[in-house]
Structure 1
Amino acid sequence: MRVFHELTRRSGIHGAPHPVRRSSYDKARLVGRHVTGLVTRSPFVGHYDSLVVPHPRKPNGVEIYTDELRAALGPSALILDSGINGTPLPGSRNLDFFTSAAGALHGRSADDRGVTEALRDLTGISVPIGALVAREVPKHLRLRALYRTLLRRQRIKTVYVVVAYFHQHIVGAARDLGIRVVELQHGAISPFHLGYSYPGRPVVADQPDELWCFGSYWTTVADLPAGMRTEVVGTSYLPRATEKSPNRVVFLSQGTVGAELLHVAESVVKEHPELEVMFRPHPSEHATDYTVPAGVQLSTGGSTLDLLASATYQVGVSTTALFEGMALGCRTAVADLPGHEYLEPAIAQGHAVLMSHPRQLLSAPLCATPEVYYAPSDLLRLTADQAE
């Protein structure tokens, strides 16, 4: 995944997907929180049956992917929530001090000449493979050993994790001990997503046992690793339907293609001056990243889901919010930019239109079967059945 991001960034195809910016003051505060957390947020204190690792992003303070699960599990669950790239949930624990320390201790850079040259011959781009290996592999091994100790001491029976491909040290530790691992879907899955797509379904190390999905579409759209099972658990985090603003268009940005998408928004304003065109930055982006052209409104406050619930049209490239917008009754146009391939199946089924010219926006379709993407929540039944 890191090599892929480096390739797309260095080639100019994409920008950084989730840029993190910290001042010297921010870094000093982070170190202070790490040291305090050693005493006040240690996960080795107490007794639990399960471990939940939420998503770091929490719109309006709510972590939507595990909210219902955490309520169902109650005090039997240890909530391990990092504060490195977000605000941890109240009452959660973390091992942030050790995570940062493990990443700061680099090994010697590996001799990567053969791999680097082969990759450069294939793509025309040089990526420092040796430096990535020297940093990531020792970090993984140190954290894997630490989490084995935690899971064994707490006698954890099930690990629930969001974004498992960025927590492979936790997944690997659980698999070392024969502990069941469940990943909760957090975003769009496609044949082009390196976290989930393994053509031919080979055996892949350090993968979850199960993937709990929003809807049936996600269970078959990509070849998951061998042995990984899927369950449709639906979701309860989407807001209720509301009255639509007939001329409202929401452009859903993401760091990889935000600047290009803003140009598309400008072209829509020129083609359709009667429309209310709103540009919504991704939560990991900053409003200051953009100089918004005349006629385009920059939307930064409130909930993206509530905004989509009020919109008639939505435009994006590969963001998960496009699928959420379909479930909220938006007519969907996919901008013809790098990454639109994520939406090819939805386009083929008539749930969205690939937009190469702004005049196509007004012919964007509604999704007739949104439940295939977001089914009603069935998580409580599933957790109850498995507890028995």
Structure 2
Amino acid sequence: MERELDLLTWEIDGVRPWPIIRMRIFHELTRRSGLHGDPHPVRRTRADQVRLVGKHVAGTVTRNPFLARGSYDALVVPHPRKPGGIEIYTDSLRSTLGGSALVLDSGINGTPLPGSVNLDFFTSASGAVRSRRVHARCAEIASALESETGVKVPVAALVAREVPKHSRLRAVYRTLLKRRRIKTVYVVVAYFHQHIVGAARDLGIRVVELQHGAISPYHLGYSYPGRPDVADQPDELWCFGSYWTDVAELPARMKAEVAGASFISPLSATELAAKDPRLVVFLSQGTTGPALLSYAASLATARPDLDVAFHLHPSERSTDYVLPAGVRMSAGNTLTLLAAATYQVGVSTTALFEGMVLGCRTAVANLPGHEYLDPTIARGDSVLVPTPDGLASALDTLPRASTPDSYYAAPRLPL
């Protein structure tokens, strides 16, 4: 449909909206069809919202990057998720760059890093006023999507919100990048920061995206079959390992390089031997957690001798679930848990790849999104389990990854 309607060249007031709303369209399609739940639900009370506005206003004085002194070689935009207070994706990079980097870390959906700055007030204000213009192509796109999928998607509302927000923030960031004399922008989750990428593009500034999760041919933030020209994309994608560099067709002129990962490394032979032979970890995520729980329940019934742990994604809450008999809720650090476990079961979460590096035997539940793991199944590093009832019999024959460093290599930042 993207090719037939020539959506990548569609323009509104000098902005190409399709790459901006593409991932949002995907989330709307999967959520409204019932295939997935909300991947990263944000839950705020009215009091939470009032406090957030107060933080934004205060931040215009205490965290305003326009008030920083001097120039910087780089701008670093980390991920909002920080397990244990550590932002693992840019941690090594920020340490290497030191004082030459301006760290711009939003506090909208997380706690900003110490010493960082942000433009949260501008971000919220830019999204508060929506365009009232109705673009004819929105109806055409919505109709085509509904014809193809049977799902109604509010394309016009997404465009009315995201395009003006993009234009306003792009202008703000253009000013910031010029004032701070930035030479390179390093960003995590670039497909939700295209206003920053676009601003850098306007000024001829190099943009590097750091991988933050699983990439596949089905990830609409990265996969562009045929490698077409796509507006406002990074120059480079720094990947955890060689597996990720060609698993999806990136936009034209976007180059993938292996940067490695400083936050994880394979276990030693002694550590592998010390794994708990009874521990099976189910790796939940907001999109498929309830369905995955049926696999855990079936295994607990069939194999009461096992320790069946259901581990939540950081965006989930324990109150989202009522656990069946024989299944316990696990807490604590995901990597520590996977280092102790012999088996892991999941659908499409990045933690499955981390578990492979940590020597877990891997089962992929046959639920929406399992296609993300198709290449690992083809490589013999994991096994697709068609039904919950089939997991118990498959458990003892599950494989370990043969070359785990292809998923997460030793760190080597290609600065």
TM-score range, shorter chain: over 0.9
Q: SS of 1:52's equivalent?
A: strand
Deviates more, 1:5-14 or 1:358-367: 358-367
Cα separation, 1, equivalents of 2:139 and 2:203: 36
Amino acid across the alignment from 1:293: P
Deviates more, 1:40-49 or 1:365-374: 40-49
Which residue of the other structure, out of 150, 161, 166, is the alignment partner of 1:140? 166
Which residue of the other structure, out of 328, 344, 358, is the alignment partner of 1:328? 358
What's 2:4 paired with? none
Q: SS of 1:371's equivalent?
A: helix
Which residue of the other structure, out of 149, 157, 166, is the alignment partner of 2:183? 157
Is structure 2 residue 218 aligned with structure 1 residue 192? yes
After superposition, the C-alpha distances for 1:235-279 in whole angstroms (9 at most, x for unaligned) are: 110167343111100000111100000111101111211110000
What's 2:10 paired with? none
The Cα shift of 1:165 comes to: 0.4
Q: How does 1:293-372 map to 2 (within 5 A)?
A: 293-300=324-331, 302-356=332-386, 357-358=390-391, 359-372=393-406
**Residue 278 of structure 2 contacts residue 342 of structure 2 at CA under 8 Å; is this kept in 1?**
yes
Which residue of the other structure, out of 3, 7, 14, is the alignment partner of 2:36? 14
**Residue 266 of structure 2 contacts residue 404 of structure 2 at CA under 8 Å; is this kept in 1?**
no
What's 1:76 paired with? 100
What's 1:94 paired with? 118
Cα separation, 1, equivalents of 2:86 and 2:221: 24
**Residue 109 of structure 1 contacts residue 133 of structure 1 at CA under 8 Å; is this kept in 2?**
no
The Cα shift of 1:174 comes to: 0.3
What's 2:6 paired with? none
After superposition, the C-alpha distances for 1:177-210 in whole angstroms (9 at most, x for unaligned) are: 0000000011011000001100011111100000
Q: SS of 1:314's equivalent?
A: strand
What's 1:386 paired with? none
The Cα shift of 1:319 comes to: 0.4
What's 1:118 paired with? 144
Cα separation, 1, equivalents of 2:277 and 2:133: 57
Cα separation, 2, equivalents of 1:206 and 1:116: 23
Which residue of the other structure, out of 76, 84, 89, is the alignment partner of 1:52? 76
Identity %: 69
Cα separation, 2, equivalents of 1:344 and 1:77: 38
Cα separation, 1, equivalents of 2:330 and 2:130: 41
Deviates more, 1:328-337 or 1:350-359: 350-359
The Cα shift of 1:362 comes to: 2.2
The Cα shift of 1:113 comes to: 2.8
What's 1:245 paired with? 276
Q: How does 1:143-222 map to 2 (within 5 A)?
A: 143-222=169-248
Q: SS of 2:222's equivalent?
A: coil
Q: SS of 1:361's equivalent?
A: helix
Number of residue pairs matched by the alignment? 380
Q: SS of 1:254's equivalent?
A: coil
Amino acid across the alignment from 1:254: Q
Cα separation, 1, equivalents of 2:396 and 2:197: 45
What's 2:301 paired with? 270
Cα separation, 1, equivalents of 2:142 and 2:76: 37
The Cα shift of 1:109 comes to: 5.2
The Cα shift of 1:344 comes to: 0.5
Is structure 2 residue 155 aligned with structure 1 residue 129? yes
Cα separation, 2, equivalents of 1:298 and 1:175: 46
Extract unaligned runs of 5+ from structure 1: 384-388
**Residue 109 of structure 1 contacts residue 130 of structure 1 at CA under 8 Å; is this kept in 2?**
no
Kindly report the root-mean-square deviation, in angstroms, between the aligned alpha carbons of the 2 structures.
1.0
After superposition, the C-alpha distances for 1:272-329 in whole angstroms (9 at most, x for unaligned) are: 11110000110011111111111001013x2101100000000000000000000000
Deviates more, 1:328-337 or 1:230-239: 230-239
Extract unaligned runs of 5+ from structure 2: 1-22
What's 1:33 paired with? 55
Cα separation, 1, equivalents of 2:345 and 2:26: 25
Amino acid across the alignment from 1:66: T
Q: SS of 2:113's equivalent?
A: coil
Amino acid across the alignment from 1:92: S
Cα separation, 2, equivalents of 1:342 and 1:240: 22
Cα separation, 1, equivalents of 2:384 and 2:143: 36
Deviates more, 1:277-286 or 1:233-242: 233-242
Cα separation, 2, equivalents of 1:174 and 1:377: 26
Amino acid across the alignment from 2:323: V
Q: SS of 1:181's equivalent?
A: strand
TM-score by length of 2: 0.90
Amino acid across the alignment from 1:324: E
Amino acid across the alignment from 2:288: V
**Residue 109 of structure 1 contacts residue 131 of structure 1 at CA under 8 Å; is this kept in 2?**
no
Is structure 2 residue 312 aligned with structure 1 residue 281? yes
Cα separation, 1, equivalents of 2:372 and 2:256: 20
Q: SS of 2:345's equivalent?
A: strand
Cα separation, 1, equivalents of 2:257 and 2:266: 24
